[in-house]
Amino acid sequence: MEQYHILNRVSTPADIRGMDYPTLDALCAEIRDFLIQNVSKTGGHLASNLGVVELTIALHRVFHTPEDTLIWDVGHQCYTHKILTGRRDRFDTLRQPGGLSGFPKPAESPYDAFTVGHSSTSISAAYAASCANKMSGSDLCSVAVIGDGAFTGGLAYEALNNAGRSKNNLVIVLNHNAMSISRNVGAFARYLALIRSKPSYLRLKERVEMILDHTPFIGKGIKEWLTSSKSLLKVLLYHSTFFEELGFAYFGPVDGHNLPELEQTLRRARELHRPAFVHVETVKGKGYEYAEKNPMAYHGVGGFDIETGNPDVAPADSFSTTFGALLTHLADRDDRICGITAAMTEGTGLVHFATEHKNRFFDVGIAEQHAMTFSAGLAAKGYLPVFAVYSTFLQRAYDQILHDAAIDRLHAVLAVDRAGLVGEDGETHQGIYDVSFLTGIPGVTIFSPSTYHELEIQLRRALYDTEGVVAVRYPRGSEPETQIAGCNPAGDFSFWEGTTRLAAVSYGRIFHSLYPAARAQKEPPALFQLNRIWPLSDKLVEKLLGYERIVFFEEAVQNGSISEHLCRRLNEEGYQGHFTAFTLPNAFIRQGSVPGLLAEYRLDQDSMTTILQEELSS
């Protein structure tokens, strides 16, 4: 830490408010070095954070944080914010168990105004804060910092539509990445690029106003006429961007790496005391060659070698890439198959599909609602849509699954990635609710493969042997290293004989912990691995009724879990034995390693071994 001479002097934003620009430039360089050094060890989001170093400094200098409310959209770009707000010395604990969160977290600091993690919430929350300030007679300001990617989410638009008609002290900062011009999705992104390419056009308005302001008599008269009349010129001059039409004062585009210019613009926006929209241009990965060249690779990273830019470990095969390869292969032979993603082409393994089946691939932006309704629309026309989505983001599409797809039994396939615990991203990203909310929607079928081979077989079943909405859910990362003999992945469940005194049941990746735990018992229990986890197989229930005791291990929140549904069903069938379920609690699960968290909730092999022993000796 001794090399960070300036940074070491910063404990709160007050410490940077008195600095001059040469010092601030040096501070920016130190912060970039600090970010690269740390993230190369802890992993995390690098490119987006390197892009907002100046912006973060400018925001904390212009606004009186934490009294002024500052909300980061998605929140993965909050690292400099954390470093400047008293968390520099704990920064090496980022994303570690018990350490700093990779996202803003109010419990961690008063500077973190709102829990974030999912996209497009910041304008709603900042507008709410501005309404609260207004109601309490406060003159404080609220700021949302939102990327152009997050602007593809409808929630951002809903909030903009509400905020624009207010007179509140509210500043929306659009963080417009160079990266996104080519990659970002949709007509709105194209519109932003158009604005950026036409600064002279946009500045015309300012120039005309300035000229009029400085031309005595005649100028003033013309300006008044312009302002009051309904002339064409007024419409043209005073509604030069959509944001102005929505009620915002528009500033920009401004260079997001030029501190004085940034601060001047933000200060003007703050002084307006009405909704303002500041369009800031930044470069993702700014200051680290490898990240600037390939910002996607440095969006979320594990550790890496700073000199070469090489990641610690070459990316292994994963459920995501296996799914992507398989879907591409299936689509070669079936031209009804479409691939849909909500801005997660890489994450969900659809890169190859996107090039091989370009005309049947749809990246809709961060717009899970639309992705689902769009999938339903394709299904209604006889296509086979496969919406690949992280479990945590599928939460956004609950009503669209139920209302747009399930009611009419449209055949849409959900490839639910990152199902189960995700580890380092913590509470906001755990994929532990999908079983609960999907089984609450009538007619949904769910498969839960634990290996690539099972994924392949069950994805085929989902596509070709199932009606209505069907989800295939699989965890983050790779399949278990050891395969299990005797599986029946094409059936609704696999079964291994054992004592009639105990049946042990599970599904998904933790079955690979249950299997050895069970087989190691002196008198091994019967083993059931569920493949089609919902609806419950009648044959499964019938078989289970024959055991004195049943123990079920499940990596999902308790309410609405398969084990809970099974418990009810066993009760209906008059089961007289003992049924015990180990699930995740009805609680939010904080960040930690997946193995560590599984152990904490007794879903690891050691715990299972103990539990089975206890059950067998009961």
Residues from 335 through 364 that contact a copy of itself (CB under 8 A): 335, 338, 359-360, 362, 364
Cβ atoms of 253 and 195 closer than 8 Å: yes
Pairing assessment for the beta strands 532-534 and 493-496 based on DSSP bridges: unpaired
Identify the active-site residue in 82, 95, 270, 284.
284
Do the Cβ atoms of 121 and 73 come closer than 8 Å? yes
Positions in 376-435 near a copy of itself (CB under 8 A): 376-378, 380-383, 395-396, 398-400, 402-404, 406-408, 427-428, 433
Residues 140-159 that bind a copy of itself (CB under 8 A): 152-159
The radius of gyration computed from the CA coordinates of the chain, to the nearest angstrom, equals 27
Min. distance of Cβ 537 from a copy of itself in angstroms? 15
Least distance to a copy of itself from the beta carbon of 42, Å? 22
Q: What is the distance in angstroms between the CA of the first residue and the CA of the last residue of the chain?
A: 57
Peptide bond into 535 cis (omega under 30): yes
Where do the DSSP E strands lie in 184-320?
249-255, 276-282
Stretch near a copy of itself under the rule CB under 8 A, chosen from 170-178, 205-213, 375-383, 606-614: 375-383
- Cα separation of 524 and 520, whole Å? 7
Restricting to residues 180-239, which ones interact with a copy of itself according to CB under 8 A?
A: 185-188, 190-191, 194, 198, 200-201, 204, 230, 232, 235-236, 239
CB of 163 to a copy of itself, least distance (A): 8
137 or 216: CB nearest a copy of itself:
137
CA-based nearest residue to 322, from 474, 207, 466: 474
| Residues 57/80, Cβ–Cβ less than 8 Å | yes
The residue (of 89 and 332) whose beta carbon lies closer to a copy of itself is: 332
Our CB check for a copy of itself shows the closer of 272 and 306 to be 272
Is position 332 an interface residue for a copy of itself (rule: CB under 8 A)?
A: no
Residue 156 vs 470, nearer CB to a copy of itself: 156
**Residue 498 to residue 615: CA distance in whole angstroms:** 14
The site string for a copy of itself over 160-179 (x = CB under 8 A, - otherwise) reads xxxxxx--------------
Active site residue 158: no
Pairing of strands 532-534, 445-447: antiparallel
**Residues near 188 by beta carbon (within 8 Å), at least 6 away in sequence:** 151, 152
CB 488, CB 495: distance < 8 Å = yes
Catalytic (active site) residue 234: no
Q: What x/- string results for residues 58 through 77 when contact with a copy of itself is judged by CB under 8 A?
A: -----------x--------
- Judge contact between 417 and 369, C-beta under 8 A: no
How many chain residues bind a copy of itself (CB under 8 A)?
110
**132 touching a copy of itself, by CB under 8 A:** yes
Bridge partners for 387 per DSSP: 340, 414
Q: Which stretch binds a copy of itself (CB under 8 A): 205-213, 281-289, 368-376, 592-600?
A: 368-376
Site for a copy of itself in 550-609 (CB under 8 A): 557-560, 564-565, 567-568, 571, 579, 581, 585-588
Kindly tell me which residue out of 374, 447, 474, 511 binds a copy of itself, with binding defined by CB under 8 A. Answer: 374
Is the backbone peptide bond immediately before 97 cis, with ω within 30 degrees of 0? no
In this structure, what token pair is assigned to residue 425? 């991203």
Q: Which residues are catalytic?
A: 284, 368, 396
